[in-house]
Amino acid sequence: MSAKTAAKPIKTASKEPSSLTKIYLFAYNAIQVGGWSYILYQLINYYVLEGPQFRAQVTLWDYTRLAVIIFQNAAFVEILNAVFGLVKSNPVVTTFQVFSRMMVVVGVVMATPTGKVSPGLPIALFAWSITEIIRYGFYALNIIKVVPKLVVFLRYTTFIALYPIGVTGELLCFWWAQRYARENSVWSLEMPNKLNATFSYYALLWIVMLGYIPIFPQLYMHMFTLRRKILGGDSKKKAN
């Protein structure tokens, strides 16, 4: 969703969303706040409240799996919202952001046993959960036009640390998964076969990993641009 338009009501000539659309968007964002709050609670409970004996019997993925699969994959709805114009997000940017996360959950952690025990998983879940609680809460409050300044500040400030932390966790998950994919031909297609084609999932993992190099800096700097606009960093330019 577009962070620029969500910070405060913008006076434009565009048609106001219908009441039904507002109810739907508010409900979706509120549910996501609840879901990611639960995942953050699980993360804290697993590492802080529970003891070593519990962690020896249950992996983090086994403990958080259901909630992560549901609420992360539910983000696919955001692509549809952007495509059908229910929100003012860029569909291309939204698609990349959603599928990069879904790739980690479905194509890395769920697909490989090594991805499930990667040290990147708790790092990614920590960054994702805090980011999403703030982001979805921001969107929900903006729909009812009640956005405290603190929430706006958190939305356009916490990303400075959380984005690199989250990307680090994601890449560590990819790294742990690619070793297993290379040795076991996970989701790969080798010759000969009826399709007369080959597909290397190991190569795909590396393509996605290398794709972070050109794409992440652009998204990261885009957030800094939005931060300057929303939090008043461009005030001096406007005064001149």
- The separation between the first and the last C-alpha atoms of the chain, rounded to the nearest angstrom, is 31
Residue 33: half-sphere exposure toward Cβ, Cα within 13 Å: 14
Return the number of other C-beta atoms located less than 10 Å from residue 133's C-beta: 20
Q: Which residue has the tokens 């560590």?
A: 172
The one catalytic residue in 156, 170, 201, 202 is: 170
Residue 174: half-sphere exposure toward Cβ, Cα within 13 Å: 23
Nearest to 29 by CA among 142, 125, 105, 126: 142
**Structure token digits, residue 73:** 């994959």
What 3-state class would DSSP assign to 107? helix
Q: Which residues contact 113 (CB under 8 A, 6 or more apart)?
A: 180
Please tell me what DSSP assigns to residue 126: H
Q: Which residue has the tokens 């769920």?
A: 110
The one catalytic residue in 24, 38, 63, 163 is: 163
Is 163 tagged catalytic? yes
What is the set of active-site residues? 163, 170
